[in-house]
Structures are given as C-alpha cells and as structure tokens.
C-alpha cells in the first residue's frame, strides 16, 4: 500500500476543528444571500484571495467576519453538515468539534439556535454517515472573564450535549490564568477541559493550561519543545497535543512544512495527533494535513498508524470504542 492509500484507509478521529473554520466560501455566499446579508467580497475567488495570513490575528479578523452571516438554526446545521461530508470523504469516523458561542451570542443570536443546529447535524451524521461526534464549547480569550462566566451559565442547561469547554482566539496577552476560575467552575460542572496553548504563545502558557486549567488535552502546543522540562511533563503524563500542520504553516507558526516539529515530538514520545483546525481557511481537511506532513517529513507507515492510534487514544470516546478503532488500524 502506498502512503497515500494508507492515509485514506486509516480510520481517524479529529480533535481540533473549529466548526466556524469549516465555512467554505460557496456556502458562505449561499447563506448570506438567503439571509440577505451583504458580504465584503464580490465572488468566491475574491474571498479565497483574502486568505493570506501573516499571523493568528490576521486570520481571526476574517474568520469572525465570515461567521456573521450565520443567523438561523438551519445555517448552523448546514455548516456542520458540510463538514461531516468532508469527514466521510477522509475516513474521519469520529470528531470533537469546537464552536464559539460568543461569536454568535454577541450578535444577538440565541445560544440555543447555535447549539440546536449543530446538535441536529451531529445526530444526522451518526444515523446517515455512521460518524460519531462530541461538541466542545470554546471561550474567546480576548473577551473578559465575566463574559466567559456568562457563557458557561448559558451552557449549563445543555450540559449533556456539550462534552467539554476550551479556550481559543488571540493567544498572546491572554494567558490561560485569566480564565482559571471559569475553568474551575466548568470542571465542577463536569465538563472535560481543553485549551489552545503554545501556538503563538510561549511554553509558559502550556504550563498554565496544565496546572491552572487542568486540561485533558492541549490544542496546538507545538512551542512546548522550547522547554525540555515541559516536554518531560507531557511525555510522563501522556498529555495529548492536537497539532494542526497546515494551520501552523498558513499562520506562519512555521515557515516551511519541512521545519514542522510533529515528527520530532512523535519520536520523543509525545502523544501528538493530526487535525485541520480551520480547514476552509488553511487549505485542507484531515487527509490534506496527513499528506502535507508525510511529504515534507517522510513519515513511515508505522508513524502514520501511530498518529491515527493517538487520535483515538486522545479522544473522549469510551475505552471499548477506542480499542475497536485501534484494532482496525493495527490490522491495516
Ligand atoms: N487559534 C486560536 N483561535 C482560533 C484558532 C486557532 O488556531 N482557530 C479558530 N480560533
Ligand atoms: Zn484552533
């Protein structure tokens, strides 16, 4: 089997994808039109041309602008359904998707509108495509602690539909410790915990996510390599990192894919996984990310299998389900 065939054949779990970041320009135009909302671009080509980022913030500005056309429950359904169809193409059999309620509630969209649309797509993905999923709600870290507390309150009635809480948006200047009290309350309420850390921010933010937020996984975390003591901690605790190679390239976290550290992290025993982050904006979905690192870093078949195994081990599915998928990978 070629590497490409193996990538396609591997069952995979996606653990780091922002549903608002899967918004393809074609769907954005269609939804804008039916909601009679003006967008700043004349055509799909013009939108894609705007996707030239030099750092995280230059992306976030465009990402939040695009999300403004999402108004109705059906819009959120259509957004998530389009992503599930990509999962089916890429043999992503389980996904744990982030959503950013504050991006919508700040515009006057009800929390329930967002959640009900996404949840209905998740239910349909299970019955029609056989894809399982969990929802993870992220707090926008550029907003206040108070706003995050308010969002947590809004989520409590939907506790059984949201497996965890996360932390995203502009990292530098908004360290995890800013949200330590909100995450303590979320843990008490029974949510699992993840946080973006060590994407643009320093290794110290990863320490804070571990020790102050008490995360179950770190999102990105690629800058952990700058701190050998932190590396030992991640390896000892089998702490997963949800790495997003094409995202790192597009946002200039790395200058060239051949310089990406995912293979070194894997070889040192860090539980790294491959993910797409915001695939509509960064040039590809799950398999595109696998292909990009395989070509740039000469990954072996065993390494590809280990990355797929890690994705299930690091997921929030049951041990029985994990074992089932891992056995299928080992049989390839
Ligand atoms: N980092 C931080 N916030 C985000 C990202 C990311 O990669 N994608 C969407 N929101
Ligand atoms: Zn992300």
- Selecting among 14, 96, 171, 199, the annotated active-site residue is 199
| Domains detected in the chain | 3-20+73-330 (3.20.20.140)
- Of the ligands numbered here, which is closest to the C-alpha atom of 59? 1
For residue 31, what are the CA distances in angstroms to 19, 38, 158, 258? 15, 11, 26, 38
Q: What is the mean pLDDT of residues 15-38?
A: 97
Q: What does the pLDDT read at residue 97?
A: 98
Q: State if residue 169 touches ligand 1 by the CB under 6 angstroms criterion.
A: yes
Helix (H, G, I), strand (E, B) or coil at 255: coil
d(CA 120, CA 129): 13
> What is the mean pLDDT of the segment spanning 219-228?
98
Rounded to 5 degrees, what angle do the CA atoms 41, 73, 192 make? 100
pLDDT for position 287: 99
pLDDT at 67: 97
Element (H, E) at 259: none
pLDDT in tens, 191-202: 999 999 999 999
Reading phi first (left if > 0) and then psi (alpha if -120 to 50, else beta), residue 82 is in alpha
Quote the percentage of the chain above a pLDDT of 70.
100
pLDDT at 89: 98
Tens of pLDDT, residues 101-122: 999 999 999 999 999 999 999 9
pLDDT of residue 168: 98
pLDDT in tens, 133-163: 999 999 999 999 999 999 999 999 999 999 9
Tell me, what's the pLDDT at 82?
A: 99
The pLDDT value given to residue 3: 97
**Tens digits of per-residue pLDDT, 48-105?**
999 999 999 999 999 999 999 999 999 999 999 999 999 999 999 999 999 999 999 9
Cβ atoms < 10 Å from Cβ of 165: 27
Instruction: Tell me, using a 6 A CB cutoff, whether residue 18 lines ligand 1.
Output: yes
pLDDT band at 174 (very low <50, low <70, confident <90, very high): very high
How far apart CA 329 and CA 307 sit, in angstroms, is 10
277 ligand 1 Cβ < 6 A? yes
Atom of ligand 1 nearest to the CA of 138: 10
Q: What is the pTM of this model?
A: 0.98
Q: What is the pLDDT of residues 253-285, one digit of tens each?
A: 999 999 999 999 999 999 999 999 999 999 999
């Amino acid at each position: 089997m070629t590497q490409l065939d193996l990538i396609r054949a591997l069952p995979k779990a996606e653990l780091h994808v922002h549903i608002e970041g899967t918004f393809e320009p074609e769907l954005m135009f269609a939804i804008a039109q039916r909601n009679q909302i003006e967008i700043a671009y004349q055509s799909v080509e013009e939108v894609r041309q705007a996707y030239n980022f030099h750092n995280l913030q230059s992306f976030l500005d465009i990402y939040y602008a695009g999300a403004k056309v999402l108004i109705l429950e059906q819009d959120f359904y259509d957004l998530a359904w389009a992503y599930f169809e990509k999962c089916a193409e890429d043999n992503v059999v389980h996904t744990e998707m982030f959503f950013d309620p504050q991006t919508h509630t700040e515009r006057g969209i009800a929390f329930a509108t967002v959640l009900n649309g996404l949840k209905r797509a998740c239910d349909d993905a299970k019955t029609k495509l056989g894809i399982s999923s969990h929802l993870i709600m992220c707090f926008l870290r550029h907003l206040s602690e108070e706003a995050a507390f308010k969002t947590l309150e809004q989520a409590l009635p939907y506790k059984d539909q949201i497996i965890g809480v996360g932390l995203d948006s502009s990292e530098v200047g908004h360290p995890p410790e800013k949200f330590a009290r909100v995450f303590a309350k979320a843990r008490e309420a029974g949510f699992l915990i993840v946080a973006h850390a060590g994407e643009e921010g320093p290794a110290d933010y990863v320490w804070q996510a571990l020790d102050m937020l008490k995360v179950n996984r770190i999102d990105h975390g690629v800058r952990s390599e700058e701190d050998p003591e932190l590396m030992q901690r991640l390896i000892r605790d089998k702490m997963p990192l949800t790495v997003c190679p094409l995202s790192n390239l597009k946002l200039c976290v790395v200058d060239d894919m051949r310089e990406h550290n995912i293979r070194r992290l894997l070889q040192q025993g860090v539980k790294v996984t491959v993910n797409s982050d915001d695939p509509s904006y960064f040039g590809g979905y799950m398999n595109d990310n696998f292909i990009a690192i395989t070509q740039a870093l000469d990954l072996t078949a065993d390494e590809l299998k280990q990355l797929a195994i890690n994705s299930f081990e690091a997921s929030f599915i049951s041990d029985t389900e994990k074992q089932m998928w891992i056995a299928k990978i080992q049989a390839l």
